[in-house]
A and B are shown apart, each in its own frame.
Chain A
Amino acid sequence: MNEEEQNIEIRKKLLKLPRMKAGAEFENNLLRMINTLEPEPVVKESGIKKPDILNFLFGKKALIWAVPAGSLAVILLVFFLIFRNDIIKETALIQKPEITSSNDQQRSTENAQTEKKIEIPGKDIANDLEIGRTTLTEKEKTLQKGYQETVPDIKTEKSAPQTGKEKTEPTEEKEEVKIIDAVKSDAPKKNEVKEMMPVKPAEKDINKEAMPKKEQGIDAMRKEEKVKEESEMAPKTDKKIVAPLIPESDKKKTSKDSTKKDETKNKKKELSKELLEELKKKIKDD
């Protein structure tokens, strides 16, 4: 307080200072300024009119319903997103088995195709590239199948002569071959024809009558020797009649023409039998 009292004179002087007053045209100038500056506030108001969320929600002119409505909308959106994800997951889970089933079908079809391919003998080995596309297990399966299919064929081929049907057929063929050979052997050879020639009785009789007794005795001896030789030759021919191995290619051909050949064979057989009987009779007669 003492300080204020000391300086109170200065305070009084300051308070006594004349009061300045505004000019007469102060208000008019001010109105002019405001009128000139009024467009700016209008612009600012237009700027305020721009969508300001905070002012819209929490400003003086805030709408009471906006906050709860907005919050509800946000909550609904969140729930929708959550349940949407769940629904998508569920649908995905439901659709997965279908997809897997369809995949299984595709796999089964593929397997069927591969099996079809495998069914072709020897193609599985040739189609190594195709096997390479499959998995290891499929490879192994295909290889095993191929092995099982290929190995039994080889066995059967090896054991073919041991089987019943295939046993009989070659024997029959062999028999046929033997018969054919026999027929061939029984066919009139030049030597045999020459030997057969004196068999004719008329000529023999003529010669017998014309020849002397010594010569007749010599001829008799020769005939006996020939008969012996022929008797000796007969078993030799039996030994010689051994069926040669016919190549498989010829077998196929024979099988095709088996019917025709059978007829010819039968005819030949009959002919050969007749010839043999005649020969036997002739020999007996001699």
Chain B
Amino acid sequence: MPEYKSYTDEQLIIMFQKDDVGAFNEIVFRYKDRAVNFLFRYTGDRDDAEDLAQDTFVKVYRSKHLYREIAKFSTWFYTIALNTAKTNLKKKSRMSTISISDFDPENEKDFDIKDTGITPDESANAAIENYYIQEAINSLDEDFKKIIILRDIEDMDYEEIAEITGLPMGTVKSRINRAREKLKKILTDIYPYKESN
């Protein structure tokens, strides 16, 4: 059994193309958390994120022969994940429409935040802050949302974002700035006390 940890992502997918299932397991191990985090930030729902991540891996499993060594595996993987998330959102939007005006911070619903070991006050503040930030991200347009997630949450460079989204570098940059401004504005609107503090 080869040690898959030493291989790069591109090598692993090539190995998987040659029907090496161990390479696919290594890819799943490396990308499962990233996929779930990205999809959670994009959808705003943990269960949906896990389901979408599983769908993304299934697509990778099925369409392994479509990968070419020209691009990074991460770019190809995030492209698949983004497309699956988009299709899912479209399906959901057909089922039911939810606007930001329905949001009421006082009638807060269940939202699982993992324990980070921070004090209750801090954790409470952080949880509330994260919650509002996530809600602000969700309120963004899709074009801004995906770019700001890829850039500021997944910490990707502009080139990679441009490849995943299929947009030119200039538009990517401008959209990132515009997305940040919008987030700032949203956060000041729905989370004013933070600004006062």
Contact = CB atoms under 8 A, between A and B. Distances in A.
A120 to B, nearest CB: 94
Contacts of A17: 41, 130, 133-134, 153
Contacts of B129: 13
Interface residues of B, number: 36
A15 B152 CA distance: 6
A20 B33 contact: yes
Contacts of B40: 20
A37 B33 contact: no
Interface string A10-23: 11011101111111
A19 B113 CA distance: 10
B114 A18 contact: yes
The B interface, classified by DSSP as helix, strand, loop or mixed, is helix
Contact of B53 (A14, A19, A22): A22
B58 A22 contact: no
B197 interface: no
Contacts of B41: 17, 20
A11 B184 CA distance: 10
Interface stretch (A28-36, A87-95, A145-153): A28-36
A207 to B, nearest CB: 169
Interface in A17-55: 17-23, 26-27, 29-30, 33-34, 37, 41
A22 B50 contact: yes
B130 A4 contact: no
A14 B148 contact: yes
B46 interface: yes
A26 B129 CA distance: 28
B33 A21 contact: yes
Given A19-B37, A23-B50, A14 B116 contact: no
Interface stretch (B4-12, B75-83, B175-183): B175-183
A4 B35 CA distance: 26
A157 interface: no
A11 B180 contact: yes
Interface string B15-37: 00000000001001100110111
12 contacts: A11-B152, A13-B129, A14-B148, A17-B133, A17-B134, A21-B37, A26-B32, A26-B36, A30-B28, A30-B58, A33-B58, A41-B62
Interface of B: 25, 28-29, 32-33, 35-37, 40-41, 46, 49-50, 53-54, 57-58, 61-62, 113-114, 116, 129-130, 133-134, 148, 152-153, 155, 177, 180-181, 183-184, 187
**7 tightest A-B CB contacts, nearest first:** A7-B180, A14-B152, A20-B37, A22-B32, A20-B40, A22-B36, A21-B33
